[in-house]
Amino acid sequence: MGRNFDNYLRSFDYDERIAIKIGLDELLDLYTKREIQLIDIRFREEHAAWSVPPRPVGLGRNAGRRVVQPIRGARGD
C-alpha cells in the first residue's frame, strides 16, 4: 500500500485532481462515517502562492534566525 501511494503521489497531476473532486455534502458524509481521509496536496505553484514565510526575529538569542510565530488566538491564547 505505501509504495503504491508513493507512486500515486508522484504521478498526481491536474487531470487526477479534477477526477477525484467530490462535493461538500458527499465529503462531509464520508468523513463523518470515517470512510475517507483528507490529504492536502499542493503543487509547487500553489505552495509558493499560499505559504507564509517565517518572520525574522532580530533580538536576543534568536538574532539572525528565522522563527515561525504562532498566530494569537489560534490555540485559544
Handedness of CA 67, 55, 74, 76 (dihedral sign): positive
Count of all residues that appear for the chain in the document: 77
Rounded to an integer, what distance in angstroms lies between the CA atom of residue 58 and that of residue 54?
Answer: 13
Instruction: Report pLDDT digits (tens) over 49-68.
Output: 888 776 665 555 655 565 55
**Residue 65 DSSP code:** E
- Residue 77: band (very low, low, confident or very high) from pLDDT cuts 50, 70, 90: very low
Instruction: Report pLDDT digits (tens) over 20-52.
Output: 889 999 999 999 999 998 888 888 888 888 887
Cβ(24)–Cβ(36) below 8 Å: no
Instruction: Retrieve residue 17's grid coordinates.
Output: 485532481
- The pTM of the full predicted model, rounded to 2 decimals, is 0.47
Cβ(54)–Cβ(68) below 8 Å: yes
Residue 74 has pLDDT above 90, yes or no: no
